[in-house]
Amino acid sequence: MPKEKRREPNVPELSPVITKEIEEKQVEERVAIGAHIVYETIRREGDDELGRSTSALAWSGLAAGLSMGFSLVAEGLLAAYLPDRPWSPLISKFGYSIGFLIVVLGRQQLYTETTLTAVLPLLAQPSLRKAASVLRLWIVVSVANLLGTYLFALCIGRIHMFDSHIQETLIGVSRSSVGGSFWIEMLRAIFAGWLIALMVWLLPGAETSRVSIIVITTYLIGLGGFAHIIAGSNKVFLLVVTGFESWGGYFTGFFVPTLIGNAIGGVSLVAFLGHAQVVSGKELAGSKPHRS
């Protein structure tokens, strides 16, 4: 009789590289979170924003508008102290990121962020009530943002707290943000809205890289001359209060095309695409046959 081979007990196969439980845990901690986790994080944040009172949204939006003024000041100060060279904007445009850093890290309400955060809950559970809540949030936050940027521009435009050279540089930096046609301005705004919404999408998985993501995305907006409704309004408001631009020029040449473009960029290019990839992934997972 041939001898039966002795069966070895069922022992899990060890990885040739990962041999300890603690090492496996370290690997899991370094695996990037999935799109569905990012989606759910932002959706819950959007639900919280939609549930906030009008007064809370208004005060947070006003604070964000005032904070965004420091993008103009920082960019103007850097430009004033740099030599007039073709490469100077490569450095001065880093100042454009300062206001965004204050707003995002300070958890203040910025209109262009809500084109993603407020829309995901609506796409997840469409209803007239939720649509009305999104519209309320957009109106309150955008008006408060613009009021804050106007007050900041009024302050630095009418109160000469800077010397004449810096004041002239601030005006020059602001004038460079206007002058395009309606359609070109709207196209620039679409890219700006896209980048801001992408920034919001990237932040939940950023951990220690939050500052880098904010700086990189907003620096690209500033360097590329893409139109952002709040940061750009701060510059055009400075031109209005100093007499270099009219209110009519602000509304028709900047406000309308930029507002439309930012909304298109934030909602359609990121919210819809981000929502679609997560929903499609769930449908594919649910359609797979289960093994018995």
Q: What is the pLDDT of residues 70-94, one digit of tens each?
A: 999 999 999 999 999 999 999 999 9
Give yes or no for residue 185 having a pLDDT over 70: yes
- 161: Cβ contacts below 8 Å, ≥ 6 apart: 155
Per-residue tokens: 118: 């407020």
Taken in order of first residue, the domains within the chain and their CATH numbers are 34-279 (1.20.1080.10)
* Exposure b/e, 25-34, CB count within 10 A at least 16 = b: eeeeeeeeee
Give yes or no for residue 29 having a pLDDT over 60: no
Residue 275 is predicted with a pLDDT of: 66
d(C-alpha 43, C-alpha 264), whole Å: 19
- Identity (one letter) of the amino acid at 226? F
Residue 292 is predicted with a pLDDT of: 43
- Identity (one letter) of the amino acid at 168? E
Residue 251 is predicted with a pLDDT of: 94
d(C-alpha 182, C-alpha 259), whole Å: 11
CA distance readout (Å), 76 to 24, 79, 151: 50, 5, 18
| Average of per-residue pLDDT values in the chain | 85
- 154: Cβ contacts below 8 Å, ≥ 6 apart: 237, 241
d(C-alpha 75, C-alpha 170), whole Å: 8
- 214: Cβ contacts below 8 Å, ≥ 6 apart: 97, 100, 101, 104, 105, 199, 203
DSSP 272: I
How many CB atoms are closer than 10 A to CB 4?
6
* Average pLDDT of span 175-194: 91
Give yes or no for residue 48 having a pLDDT over 70: yes
* Average pLDDT of span 48-68: 95
Find the distance separating the first CA and the last CA of the chain, reported in whole Å: 38
Cβ atoms of 172 and 72 within 8 Å: the answer is no
Q: What is the pLDDT of residues 248-278, one digit of tens each?
A: 999 999 999 999 999 999 887 666 766 666 6
